[in-house]
Structure 1
Amino acid sequence: MEEITESEITEQAAELGIQSGGTLLVHASLRSVGRVKGGAVSVMSALRHVLGPDGTLVVPTFTSDNSDTSAAHRKQTHGLSEEDRIAFWDSMPAFDPATTPSTEMGALAETVRSQADSRRSVHPQTSFAALGAQAAKIIDGHHPDCHLGEHSPLARLYDLQAQVLLLGVGFDRCTAFHLGEYRVANPPRRTYRCVVQRDGLRQWWEYTDVALDDSDFGRLGADFEGASASESSRTGLVGSAQSRLLSFVDAVDYAQDWLAVHRVTA
């Protein structure tokens, strides 16, 4: 397979409808895109070129494996003896927004996060990183006890009428839908624990927040796409990747209504 160039990615992203001067939240699988000359750096540069000097590129830089209440932690410690489990628990590093790599977010997210001018939020499990004109407005003020709600970058993306690019990934990766979880009446809540750095010391911190659940996001996304007008959801190829460009506001509003109907809470 021939390598895809940065200029080709730029052209395809523009044709898909990414707005110059806008704000774009990206979830990406570069493996699906194919062999890109320059790799993740070229994809990032292409998206920033389309967004222009007044645009902003945003990625999730989550770190769920620094929590002992996460599915990632349960997977990592499955089958360990009690002694080994305690040793693993004691060795888990505290979250540092400046240096902690994201977990399973992909090469593009890590590339954006590691840029010298990138801005990253301080949530120890669901941080975001951003490059561009609106980075500070989106990233600053992310409360450490609010994963993806009104005091997170998702609410700021809603305010800015951002777009969402699902680059070679499905609706199950669409973080925007989580803001809809917060906006239903009386969403279920749960306790979370993670490792943080406070006053120079590694500490465990416990807090309560909305119980996040993406298990039905595939069905939610299919219904959203079926009901959406062309300006709310567009599809096209970026490299070899089947991709979707969504209206952030429309996706959140639809999720809020859909979840209120389709989820049964105790």
Structure 2
Amino acid sequence: MPAPVTRAHLAADLQSLGLPAGAAVMVHTSLKALGWVVGGEQAVIEALRDAVGPEGTLVMPTQSWQLCDPAVLQETPPQWWPTIRENLPAYDPRVTPARTMGAVAELFRTLPGTLRSAHPHRSVSANGPLAETITAVHDLDCPSGERSPMRALYDADGQVLLLGASPAKTTVLHLAEHRADWPGKHLDSNAGPVLVDGKRTWVTYQELAVQDEDFVDVVEAFARETGLMRIGTVGEAPARLLPVRPLVDYAAAWFTTHRAA
């Protein structure tokens, strides 16, 4: 049976992987994949902080898909939709849970000093010197594009860290989709409850129809052709570390070529 995984063990593995001190890093984590972690999600966050140090900024997706228009989710009977739209609580970055992002991200969003962006469905949380810069702009109709934390992370020359998470979860690749062009690229409608001048308001908007079916392929091609992806093991989990700016630049060209084909 594998030994318990400690905070010190995780921090050492992250350093061996090449996670640089002072980095702005977006972390996608499967707690279960890391093994039996002593202290669970709290220890994981503390190990990440140990690795990047006080000058580093941790970033995590804290999305709240439960606030999407029920017509988009297609999880409930259509006759329920008017009631859902009328009664869903407004997005509150301090309170709204990140139900599907995992235990690490859910704890992270609640920590002292963590800031969370304003998008009701695709919020990002950050903690560290660049937290305000990364979370400041997150326009409703641009959940992952040029007016979102993905652009801020790109401008910060950040990193993406996948800890037991599939490359399909690499959210920053949606920024590359915004910059790419392919047949059938289009906008979709969405909606959700937000606070407007302190009042709960149901708002509708148009957003890029994104997809992740080829994210694994583009990450593998990027690693093969550039040699810029670091691969290792953190705890018991496979880990990948990728530089945001070269990855997004590569993926934008790759999507344009391969999706057209």
TM-score by length of 2: 0.93
Q: Match for residue 146 of structure 1?
A: 142
Q: Which runs of 5+ in 2 are unaligned?
A: none
Match of 1:161 in 2: 157
Q: 1:118 to 1:223 in 2, by over 3 A?
A: same
Q: 2:167 aligns with which of 160, 171, 174?
A: 171
- Call closer, same or farther: CA 1:185–1:60 in 2, change over 3 Å: same
The residue that corresponds to 1:90 in the other structure is 86
Distance 1:258 1:69, change over 3 A: farther
- 1:142-177 Cα shifts (integer Å, max 9, x gaps): 222210111111111111111110110111000111
CA distance in 2, matches of 1:25, 1:16: 15
Which residue number in structure 2 is paired with residue 126 of structure 1? 122
Query: In structure 2, what is the equivalent of residue 55 of structure 1?
Result: 56
Q: Quote how far apart the aligned CAs of 1:202 are.
A: 2.5
Alpha-carbon distance change, 174 to 81 in structure 1, aligned in 2, over 3 angstroms: closer
Please, which of 222, 226, 237 is the counterpart of residue 241 of structure 1?
237
1:41 corresponding residue in structure 2: 42
Residue in 2 that maps onto 1:252: 248
Is the CA contact 2:85–2:202 (under 8 Å) kept in the aligned structure 1?
no
Judging changes above 3 Å, is the alpha-carbon distance between structure 1 residues 69 and 251 closer, same or farther for their aligned structure 2 residues? farther
Query: CA separation in 2, counterparts of 1:209 and 1:41?
Result: 34
Alpha-carbon distance between aligned partners in 1 of 2:197 and 2:136, rounded to the nearest angstrom: 20
- Distance (whole Å) between structure 1 residues aligned to residue 20 and residue 9 of structure 2: 17
Note if contact 1:64-1:70 (Cα within 8 Å) is conserved in structure 2. Answer: no
1:143 partner letter: D
Measured in 2, the distance between the counterparts of 1:68 and 1:137 equals 29
In 1, Cα distance between equivalents of 2:190 and 2:226: 35
Q: Which of 97, 104, 107 does residue 100 from structure 2 map onto?
A: 104
> For each residue in 1:47-94, what CA deviation from the matched residue of structure 2 results, as whole angstroms up to 9, or x when unmatched?
1111111110000111122111675x21x31xx362x44434433222
Q: State whether residues 163 and 234 of structure 2, in contact with CA within 8 Å, keep that contact through their aligned partners in structure 1.
A: yes
Q: SS state of the match for residue 116, structure 1?
A: coil
In the aligned structure 2, how far is the partner of 1:129 from the partner of 1:224? 26
Which residue of 205, 213, 217 corresponds with 2:215?
217
Gaps of 5+ in 1: none
What residue in structure 2 maps to residue 21 of structure 1? 22
Amino acid at match of 1:257: A
Tell me how far apart the structure 2 counterparts of residues 185 and 178 of structure 1 sit (CA, whole Å).
12
How many equivalent residue pairs? 258
2:69 aligns to what?
68
Deviation at 1:223, TM superposition (A): 1.8
Q: 1:63 to 1:242 in 2, by over 3 A?
A: same
TM-score normalized by structure 1? 0.91
Give the partner amino acid of 1:184: A
**Does structure 1 conserve the Cα–Cα contact (< 8 Å) formed by 2:170 and 2:215?**
yes
Answer whether contact 1:69 1:192 (CA < 8 A) is retained: no
